[in-house]
Each structure stands twice: as C-alpha cells, then as structure tokens.
Chains A and B, each alone.
Chain A
Amino acid sequence: MTASKPPLSTFLTSQLWSGNQVLIAVLGICSALGVTNRLSVAITMGLSVCFVTAFSSFFVSLLRKITPDSVRMITQLAIISVFVIIIDQFLQAYFFSISKVLSVFVGLIITNCIVMGRTEGMAKNVEPLPAFLDGLGAGMGYAIVLFIVAFIRELFGFGQLFGYQIIPLSWYATSVHPDGYDNFVLMVSPPAAFFIIGGLIYLSKKLQKADS
C-alpha cells in the first residue's frame, strides 16, 4: 500500500465525466441509438448495463490470477454473458412489456464495447473492489447519457416523458387550428439519436476544454 494509490472513489467518479464511455471513449453507441426512443426503455437499458459491467468487472478481476492467457477473451465473454442472461431472464419475468421492446438489445449488451472495454482495459489489472466501482461508474456514465438522449427524444418526438403527456394536448394542431404544435417526428427515428449524441460530444469536449 503506497501513499500514491488513488482513493477508491476515483474509480467511480472518473468514469462519470472525464472518462465517460460514451462521450469521450465513444463506446457503447449501438444500443444508445436503438433504445433511446422512450425514457422507460432507456433507463432499463442503462441500469442493465450498469449491473452487467459492475459485476462482470468484479468477477473478471476476481479470477484474473488464475485465468490462462490464451482463453482470456473467451472467459471475459462467458462471464459477461452469464450476467446478461441473468438480466434478460429477470426482465422477462418481471418487466415483460419493456423486455418486449428491448428484445435483442438485451443480448447485445454482451457485445457492448463498454463492458468488454472495462473488463479488458481495467478489471484484469486491478483488485476486485476498484474493478467493481470502475464498472459501476462506466455503466452510470452510460446510463446518464442515455437518459439525456431519451429525455430529448421522447419530449420532442412524443410530447411525453415516461409515457405521461407533458406538452399539453391543447397545443397540438388539429383541423380546427392547423398552425398549432406538432410532434417533431424525426426525433423518434434513429438519425436524431446520431445528431443528439454528436451534439453532446461537442458540448462535452467544449466543457472539458474549458475545465483544463
């Protein structure tokens, strides 16, 4: 234990902003585009990734000394798959309607670059507890970005948040007053997610440059 060892909490916090996996490392994009239509779905996805990343990092780190080098990747994949399957089974049992919407995207958490990135990049080199916090932080950073994107998309694409109508129905255009408000339908399509994430990357780069 040397004096220069960083406090445990930095493993968590560095992943939230300065090392945010989506905005800085640009990983985990696939699912960020496909599931951020609705807030409920995005949050479920974000929490699932948190769970998977944290626990797989923990177990990969736990096994790091006894894992043969030649099967390192496949061991990591196996551990990650186990946790993804746990989440998938759990969702199917208790959150059926959301799991219908997520369908294959839950399985795709296995190939989510964030998870593999953390296990390969960090977990196999550090103790289990820091690895857990690092994974948790990465997952949380991802969840926060997903939340922001889904917030914008659902609000402008549906006029709702979590399924509740936020933009008053009276504002909408009808045949009586055709100049009223209309939902920004493009927000519901995937290209909008590209644009929003591009914008967020721009913002985060600007803000981080201002910081340093």
Chain B
Amino acid sequence: MWMGEYSVLNLIGLLIQAIFIENFLLVNFLGMCTYLACSNKLKTANGLGIAVVFVLTVSGVLNWFVHAFVTGPGALSWLSFFGLDAAAINLEFLQFLLFISVIAGFTQILEILIEKLSPALYMSLGLYLPLIAVNCAILGACLFAVTRDYPFIPNFIYVLGSALGWWLAIALIAAIREKLATANVVPALKGMGITFIMSGLMSMAFMGFTGIKLASPSPATGPGQPFALMDSTGLGQSPIQGAPTEEKE
C-alpha cells in the first residue's frame, strides 16, 4: 500500500515521466484556463507555478487518503474496527465532491495560514490561491492518480512530478509570451490567437518525448523490470509516433 512493487529506480523514472513525458499542460492540456486568462509575465507564471506545486502535492496526498479510506472500492473495510461491516458499500459517486472539497478546503486554509504567517509571501503568492483551487490540473492530477491506483509513495512522486512539469510548461509559455508581446503579430491574432498557435507548436515539441519509458508506471509489467528502455537505434524505428519511417506503406 505504501510502496507497492516500485523500486527507487521506478520512482525516479516515474518522476521524470510525470515532468516531461506526460507533462500535464502540454500533453494532457489541463490547467490552461487560469493561466491564459490572467497573466503573461514570467514572474506571475513562477508565482502560479510554485503555488500549484505546493497545493497539488499536498492535495494529491490528501486525496490519496480519501480514495484509500472512503471512496475507493472496498475502502470502508476499516470500519470493521468499529464492528461495522461496510466493505461492500461503494461511495465512488462521492469522489468528485470530496476531492474538490479537499482541494478547496486546503487552499482556503493555506491562504489563511500564509496571510497570518508571512504577509510578504502572501503579497506575492496568496493572490493566486483562489484561482488554483479551480485549476483543472489539480483535480485532474488527483483523478488520474486515482485511476492508476498508485501506492502511497509513487502517488506522491506522481503528483509532485505533475506539478513540477506544469510549472515548467507555464514558465516556458510565459517566457515566450513576453517576447511575443513586442513582436509584430497580425492584429486579429494578437494576444490569445498567437498564444494558442505557439502552445500548439510547443506541444508538438513535447510529443517528441513519447515512448520513452523509464519506469513501468504500473506493476503490470512486473516488479523485476526497473528499466524498460525502448531500443530505438534501428533504422526507421523512431519512437515518435507518426514520424516518417524508412518503409513505404
């Protein structure tokens, strides 16, 4: 339950996978709204990114507990401690509600804490926190982690990696947007239009990471395989799906 069949090597692979290969923003496209609508400077992007890393990691962990002890299949078996046989009760339908409540609740508590403990930090970070509660990426990462049924530590690594990847992508886009602001863009494309096209190009670039497997992301391929590197050294064996191959179809 805590570590499952994952070795430390698997965890490192999982981290890299979550940051680059399955980057939350550029591959799964979650978390764009709040960012697109409110900022185009690198500084704000960094602020958002750090806040997301913090909120997502903690919420991801909290939601793992919710899934393990409340909403997952057979989760209520711990109630047998109190003499109640509740293992058959399925509360899966409450999952969305509980997850978003945990996220919103945690964000609220965090905001209050930051305001009390460090007004300086609050000035730079605290403004983003309400926005982050409704960031698709946070709920999305929690839901993805739950569908994959990770044990505790891989779950932690996964949400941490997803958040770091999101921050990376946001920072990259913000940096380019800063430059675009002074570029000579067609008037009707200025602002959102060109940002979209630019994001599309970036996501194509990140597609280049496809197929690199550094860890079995699930125990399905067996605990004895810490590395499953794809051998892409043959002619025309590019791991990029859709890349031209040597053979004519």
Contact = CB atoms under 8 A, between A and B. Distances in A.
Does A pair with B?
yes
Nearest to A113: B33
A186 interface: yes
Interface string A172-212: 01010010000001100111111101110110011001000
A27 B100 CA distance: 19
B96 A194 contact: no
Interface stretch (A61-69, A82-90, A125-133, A160-168): A82-90
A27 B27 CA distance: 18
Interface stretch (A8-16, A42-50, A102-110, A138-146): A102-110
Interface stretch (B101-109, B154-162, B218-226): B101-109
A74 interface: yes
Interface in B189-226: 189, 192-197, 199-201, 203-204, 207
A101 interface: no
Contacts of B136: 30-31, 108, 111-113
Contact of B34 (A25, A31, A113, A191): A113
Contacts of B93: 85, 88-89
B143 interface: yes
Contact of A25 (B29, B37, B135): B37
Given A25-B37, A77-B104, A81-B97, A202 B200 contact: no
A199 B242 CA distance: 24
B36 A104 contact: no
A110 B139 contact: yes
B133 A73 contact: yes
A46 to B, nearest CB: 17
Residue of B196, B204, B249 with most chain A CB atoms under a 10 A cut-off: B196
A116 interface: yes
A106 to B, nearest CB: 9
A118 to B, nearest CB: 13
Contacts of A104: 140, 143-144, 147
Contacts of B207: 189, 191
B50 interface: no
A195 B134 contact: no
Interface residues of B, number: 50
A29 interface: yes
A81 B96 contact: yes
B30 interface: yes
A78 B139 contact: no
Where chain B touches its partner, the secondary structure class is helix
Determine the interface band of chain A, counting residues with CB < 8 A from chain B. 35 or more
B138 A33 contact: no
B4 interface: no
B37 A195 contact: no
B237 interface: no
A189 B243 CA distance: 13
Contacts of A111: 100, 134-136, 138-140
B119 interface: no
B115 to A, nearest CB: 14
A34 interface: yes
A113 B32 CA distance: 10
Nearest to B194: A198
A191 B204 contact: yes
Interface of A: 25-31, 33-34, 73-74, 77-78, 81-82, 84-85, 88-89, 103-104, 107-108, 110-113, 116, 173, 175, 178, 185-186, 189-195, 197-199, 201-202, 205-206, 209
6 contacts: A30-B32, A88-B96, A108-B30, A110-B100, A178-B249, A198-B194
Given A88-B96, A198-B196, A202-B189, 8 more contacts: A26-B36, A74-B108, A77-B104, A78-B97, A81-B96, A107-B96, A110-B139, A202-B186
